[in-house]
Amino acid sequence: MNEQSKQLKIFQPIIFALVLGLGFFLGSYLTSSQFTSRNIFFKTNNNQFNKINDVVSYIEQEYVDTINEKKLVDKSIEDLLQNLDPHSAYIPLEDVQAVNEPLEGNFEGIGIEFHIQYDTIMVVTTISGGPSEAVGLRAGDRIIAVDDKNIAGIKISNEDVFKNCADPVAPKLR
């Protein structure tokens, strides 16, 4: 092995490290927002996405009243998705569990599928083997009271049923 090839082998890792470092530097420079906005090869339309952030920041800083930023952003996202098609929707993080629960197959309660008709809970079907079947509830029955508390004719919603009528111990229905 001659002297020149020995020197080349010694400097080869250093040269490789310098080339690698230069590659990292150029890569970060080419993907920076200042460069991409001027370069036709890497042109992105980031300013459209920044508009939403800019508007929210401006409102937060300059608006007379205090705002709920989370509520404002959530409402903006809902409106944005509503313009796509009737099937697109935004589900806030705190509501995801409630939306997914019927799809996961973990059920609590008395074991019925219900429908609210004229402010009254109507049993659509009972879940086989559930508590409702054991006490004799059938499709078409109407539930007017839970634990001697009237729930008919009070403009009850699905959320109210799940929130107020769910009891770890099976409620007494009438």
Same domain, 22 and 53: no
Same domain, 113 and 160: yes
pTM for this model (two decimals): 0.37
Range 140-165 average pLDDT:
75
Same domain, 68 and 115: no
CATH number reported for the structural domain that contains residue 140 in this entry: 2.30.42.10
Same domain, 18 and 56: no
User: Which pLDDT score, from 0 to 100, does residue 2 have?
Assistant: 74
Q: Domain for residue 160, yes or no?
A: yes
Q: Which residues pair with 126 in a beta bridge?
A: 112
Domain interval for residue 62: 46-90
Same domain, 57 and 76: yes
At what angle are helices 46-62 and 69-82 packed, to 10 degrees?
140
pLDDT in tens, 43-58: 555 667 678 888 888 8
Alpha carbons 118 and 99: distance in angstroms, whole number = 24
Same domain, 66 and 18: no
Nearest to 120 by CA among 138, 148, 144: 144
